[in-house]
Structure formats: C-alpha cells, structure tokens
Amino acid sequence: MIEKWLQYTQRYEGLNVMPYKCPAGHWTIGYGHNLENGISKEAAQFILLQDVNAAQKAVRQQFEGWCQLGEVRQFVLVDMCFNMGIGKLAAFKKMWAALKRGDYAAASYEMLDSRWAGQVGRRARELAEMMRTGEYL
C-alpha cells in the first residue's frame, strides 16, 4: 500500500534535487519536502555520509599518493574537501607538493598558512596537527 502512495506522490511532486521555491513560496527539495520543516537527524546523517563519500572520491582522484597516506591523513584531506570543496582544496599547491614528498610537517604548515585556516580556526589547527602526526586527536 505505501509503495503505491509513494509512486503517486512522486509522480505528482516530481523530483528536484536542488532547492526551489514551490508555488506557495516555500523552499522545497526532493519530492516536495518543505525545508522550513527541517530534516530528521537520520536524514542529516544520511546526507553527511553521501557528502563524505563524495569528498573521499574527489580527493582520491586528486592525489595519486592516497593509499600511502594512512587513515588519519586521508581523513584530514577528506574533511578539508568536505569543508571547502575539491576546487579550493586543489589550490593548496604547496601542501600537495609536501604530501608527495612525504613531508607532513610542511603539509601541516601549508594548511595553516592559508585563508581557510583563518576562517575555520580550531578545525584547521586540529586537522593540521593530525596531518603532522598521523594520529587522531
């Protein structure tokens, strides 16, 4: 029964993967989900998982030395990508060069010597320390 209901509602609403204003003037996404109502914690967790997976894929494509980094340094790059996008992360030329050399102290320095670090503060300091040491804080 619920499957039939979903099919009809999907057909009537249509799928919009980008936010839009419905005829009533409400910001909406998906199959007519009113964003003013927010989302559930479960939906937020699902979206986060999708976004982190996309960030990981982008970083793996950007950096040939991905497999040699180890879990913690991989996490650092994925979190940076999640935060700023692959385009801005790719612009960290000196950091990438340091990573290719295996110079994690220099990579850490380059992370902190950026506008991004000034914008995100503690997050950047913690990620830079994890990049330097290869250990979670």
3-state secondary structure 38-102: CCCHHHHHHHHHHHHHHHHHHHHHHCCCHHHCCHHHHHHHHHHHHHHCHHHHHCCHHHHHHHHHC
Q: Residue 11 — φ and ψ, nearest 5°?
A: -65, -45
Tens of pLDDT, residue by residue over 85-99, are: 999 999 999 999 999
Tens of pLDDT, residue by residue over 114-136, are: 999 999 999 999 999 999 999 99
Q: Which domain holds residue 29?
A: 2-37
33, two tokens: 């989900």
Q: Looking at the structure, do residues 67 and 33 belong to the same domain, yes or no? A: no
For the whole model, what pTM was predicted?
0.88
DSSP-based three-state secondary structure for 121 = coil
Q: Looking at the structure, do residues 46 and 33 belong to the same domain, yes or no? A: no
Q: Looking at the structure, do residues 14 and 54 belong to the same domain, yes or no? A: no
CA 6, chain centre distance (Å)? 30
Is pLDDT at 23 greater than 90 in this prediction?
no
Q: Looking at the structure, do residues 9 and 56 belong to the same domain, yes or no? A: no
